[in-house]
Amino acid sequence: MTVRRDFKEPARSRPDLVIGRDELYSGAREQLARGGSVLLHGPAGIGKSTVLRALAEENAGAAGTVLRCSATESESHLPFLALADLFGLVLDKVSARLPAAQRTALESALTGRGESTLQRDGLALRLAVLSTLRALAAEGPVLVVADDLQWLDSASAELLGFAARRLGDSPVRMLCAVRTDGEEEEYGRHLRACPPDTLPVRLGPFSRTQVSALLDHRGYTALSRSTARDIHRTSGGNPLFALELGRALAESPTRPRPGEPLPVPTSLRALVLSRLEMLSDEARRTLLVASAGARPTLALLHAAGRDNAEAETAQAAALGLLATDHEEPALRFAHPLISAALYAEAPARDRRAVHTALSTAASDPIERARHLALAATGPDPEVAARLAEAAALARDRGAPSVAASLGLLAARHTPADGKPGPDERRLQAAEDAITAGEVDLARDIAREVLTRATVPAERVRAWMVVIEAAGQALGEVDAVFPQVLADAGDDPRLLALVHYQLAWREVVVDGDFAKSRQEAAHAAELAARGGDRRTELMALAFQSSTETLMGHPDAPATIQRALEEPQDPDVASHHNGAAMAKFRWLLMSDQLPEARTAITALLREARRRGMVESEVHFSRLLADTELRYGHCGRALDLARESLRLARDSGIGESASAMLASVAEASGGDVERGLTLAREAADHAEVDGDQLYLSLALAALGYAQLVAGDAQGAVRSLRRVRELEHGMGIIDPARGRWQGDLAEALVRIGEPGEAQELIDVTRVHALRLNRASVLAVLDRAEALVRSARGEHQAAHTQLASAQERLAALGYGLEEARAAFALARLRGRGPAPAAYDEAARLFRRCRALPWLRQVERAVAAGPAEPETVPAAAPGALDGLAAMERQVAALVMEGATNREIAGRLFISVKTVEATLTRVYRKLGIRSRVDIVRLAAAARRTK
């Protein structure tokens, strides 16, 4: 495949960030920084030149000399052309330092004022190139930048390779790019022409998320996610192809019909269809039939009237248009773009004829209906009915995206006075699109219907799609609610739908769980009155979830009501359904085996039914369950998959990033965990989503604690405490952040505030029977006691907490208790105390925690805690106010509590403590407690 020069991205449009190449870009950068060389390779249009230019620009400043060449196919027959590009501007600078024979040969080759050839002057030329590079390197590092090595003239390639293999320790780096199809033998000869230490870097196709980011970066922001998905599929992840497709779609006044391939611009057709000219007309028609089929086989081609399909497809395979795989019965084009371009190139009448043939040849009823629609040209009630039936079948098969596409085709072919009408079918397609995670498509359909719908039921249904499409950003659709309430009138079925969404709004936007619970209960009552069992079950499930988080005593009874028959299969597998509410109850009640069984079954069903949003959330929640077990590796894989799916679909990104942060901080990369937590918090802040903001901040606080930033953890987790208090969340099993905050407070010298938090939380945990929370609180309280010098009591409490956490199955929390116990024992002479903690963290694959253990072991046994060297009776030498403040610190009071009891400001307390520290020669509140304990022991 040949890419013309005009497709190469000009340097001025190179993005500051090389999109989608972070990891390989970092590897190449590090290689160049070490003084090594890099060979970028990959297929045409994959972005090699973009990466090469970015790396060259970044490294040019550190090089004394930068030599560049960029070959083209049309010039590859001209000898020494690349050499002239490289050395033409520096020849005068170094020629005097070359031996006469080498100088004469090189000047003849570069200027053309002689008849220098490799056959006649081979050795002199080879040595001249090597000597030139060494002479330049003697004055400073040299960077050789060579693009499109495959078009280098053979003479230049030979000379450059000879020198590269002999440069030795000379500070000469080569940064090259070559077009290959990825096979090792293809770039092997180019690699042999580079220095021995060259790092080969293959650029592969972009993921769907990366294609979306690239399109957004280039300004194609009006393209929906579903369109970006189609662009990714058609381009095969090739960024050049994706950009050309995006540009063509952005400039086109019309969009392709549902079910049709994307329109391929003329620029790309020329790239991929040049070999079609070598096919016979009949073979080309056979390939057109294959391009129109969803999964073409030879049998399908025969059924569609292509009698010589074997010979014609073999001819196409020989030309590289089809990929051959004897194990796979389906025909596969060598690149998806070939299929799309072939279809786009065909006249409309030929495409309709092909679809007509396939509408009877295809064996699958869904496929037959799609072809029937694409063969038709206007409204046809029979075609519309067939398409609606096929959409229902796709829905039952768990393919809601296909159902949405077929539903739109059905609406297109439905007469204006049809029953059901075209807008009713469009709304069904929009609801299928929501299920499939194509929220942009769903929103567009619903808003189109709202421009003309007058029937209240249709308007409310469309408004529901608009609200659903907003996801967690419900604040952005606040203005919708008065309109939809007016449209609903006094119809209990319609009002139930509205009040169910209002229940979500109250908790997400206002953070008011009590009001949210009331709205959910009202929605369930209205739905029951209107005979809408589905909405009734969804409302009851949501009501039970709010009650669970509020610690409301009615939660179990409401869950039971939501699980009563008759059930709705859509609700049963929905991420906000009753089964989900029951899972949440099981998880918060420490019933881990039952919770894992429940969420695994829900995830399996969501995948079977193609419910993308539910799959995103269930993958995340299964990861959460595995984390509680201490299966950090498994949790990390699930969390990353959930995040990838969330970003691809644009659904649940904050929630998935939040859980991925916890998984990374537990079993992966702590820095990545911090980044993801901040990303999740930022998303939630922008969306005005208090529900997930508190969870994201809790994840951030945990990651900060693991990273050793206790001050940052306290700031984040104190805010979580404020948010949950404002929302009325009192069940400590919801976010499980209290133990982390208490531990962080101890680390910064605030054991009084830590103890107060533990005491308040313990009351709720005891009332709600949250056994694992109580064990974690005991672990945190042991740290408080240790900070106060009560080491034996701390030891006993930690051992008990570890034993209880192990019995409950909380592997990671058990390991953290063992680590705290080891640190306490480590005050003595035996570093072997850390063996148990290391074993448990290793079993959990909790790598960040294991590294902490390794650092503690490497540091050796800790010195016994000593009281600061203050004179006996030093506390008595403090001023009256200072003694009062110190006495309250010994009681465990916080700065705010001290200020209240002494009727002074918090700032005055802080200033007084600073003076106390200075006078006593100590550094923290904990030291005051230790001084007091030492004074008591000497009396």
pLDDT greater at residue 35 or residue 328: 35
pLDDT tens sequence across 43-70 = 888 888 889 988 998 888 888 899 998 8
16 pLDDT tier (thresholds 50, 70, 90): very low
Q: What share of the chain is helix, strand, coil (3-state, %, to 5)?
A: 70, 5, 25
pLDDT tens sequence across 88-122 = 888 888 888 888 888 888 888 777 655 555 556 67
pLDDT tens sequence across 742-775 = 999 999 888 889 999 999 999 999 988 999 999 9
pLDDT tens sequence across 124-153 = 888 988 899 999 988 899 999 998 888 888
Express as a percent the part of the chain with pLDDT over 90: 38
Query: For residue 12, what pLDDT is reported?
Result: 35
Q: Are 564 and 530 in contact (CB under 8 A)?
A: no
902 pLDDT tier (thresholds 50, 70, 90): confident
**Token pair of 626 as six digits:** 């595995």
pLDDT greater at residue 195 or residue 701: 701
Express as a percent the part of the chain with pLDDT over 70: 90
What is the C-alpha separation between 624 and 734, in angstroms, rounded? Answer: 12
3-state secondary structure of 573: coil
What is the C-alpha separation between 395 and 610, in angstroms, rounded? Answer: 8
Query: For residue 224, what pLDDT is reported?
Result: 73
Q: What single DSSP character describes residue 415?
A: -
Q: Quick check: 873 pLDDT over 70?
A: no
**Token pair of 606 as six digits:** 């969501």
pLDDT tens sequence across 794-831 = 999 999 999 999 999 999 999 999 999 998 876 544 45
Query: For residue 4, what pLDDT is reported?
Result: 31
Q: Quick check: 894 pLDDT over 50?
A: yes
933 pLDDT tier (thresholds 50, 70, 90): low
Across 83-87, 471-475, 712-716, which has the greatest mean pLDDT?
A: 712-716
- Is residue 764 exposed (0-12), middle (13-18) or buried (19+ Cβ within 10 Å)? middle
pLDDT tens sequence across 598-625 = 999 999 998 888 888 889 899 999 999 9
With the CA atoms of 217, 218, 219 and 225 taken in that order, what torsion angle do they form, in degrees rounded to the nearest 10?
Answer: -70
pLDDT tens sequence across 248-300 = 888 777 777 666 677 777 777 776 677 777 888 899 999 999 988 888 889 99
**Token pair of 323 as six digits:** 């990929």
Query: For residue 597, what pLDDT is reported?
Result: 96
**Token pair of 782 as six digits:** 């042991």
Query: For residue 864, what pLDDT is reported?
Result: 42
pLDDT greater at residue 149 or residue 922: 149
Q: How many CA atoms lie within 13 A of 134 on its CB side?
A: 15
pLDDT greater at residue 471 or residue 201: 201
Query: For residue 628, what pLDDT is reported?
Result: 94
Q: Are 779 and 803 in contact (CB under 8 A)?
A: no
**Token pair of 55 as six digits:** 């790396």
**Token pair of 420 as six digits:** 């059901």
Q: Quick check: 184 pLDDT over 70?
A: no
What is the C-alpha separation between 582 and 540, in angstroms, rounded? Answer: 12
Ranges 630-639, 645-654, 866-875, 903-912: which has the least confidence: 866-875
Q: Quick check: 707 pLDDT over 90?
A: yes
2 pLDDT tier (thresholds 50, 70, 90): very low
What is the C-alpha separation between 610 and 904, in angstroms, rounded? Answer: 62
Across 363-367, 597-601, 643-647, which has the greatest mean pLDDT?
A: 597-601
Q: Quick check: 938 pLDDT over 60?
A: no
325 pLDDT tier (thresholds 50, 70, 90): low
- Average pLDDT value for the chain: 85
6 pLDDT tier (thresholds 50, 70, 90): very low
Q: Averaged over 241-246, what is the pLDDT?
A: 84
Q: Averaged over 338-355, what is the pLDDT?
A: 88
Beta strands, E only, 385-482? none
454 Cβ contact partners less than 8 Å away, ≥ 6 residues apart: none
Query: For residue 364, what pLDDT is reported?
Result: 86
pLDDT greater at residue 828 or residue 359: 359
pLDDT greater at residue 679 or residue 71: 679
pLDDT tens sequence across 527-545 = 999 999 999 999 999 999 8
Query: For residue 710, what pLDDT is reported?
Result: 92
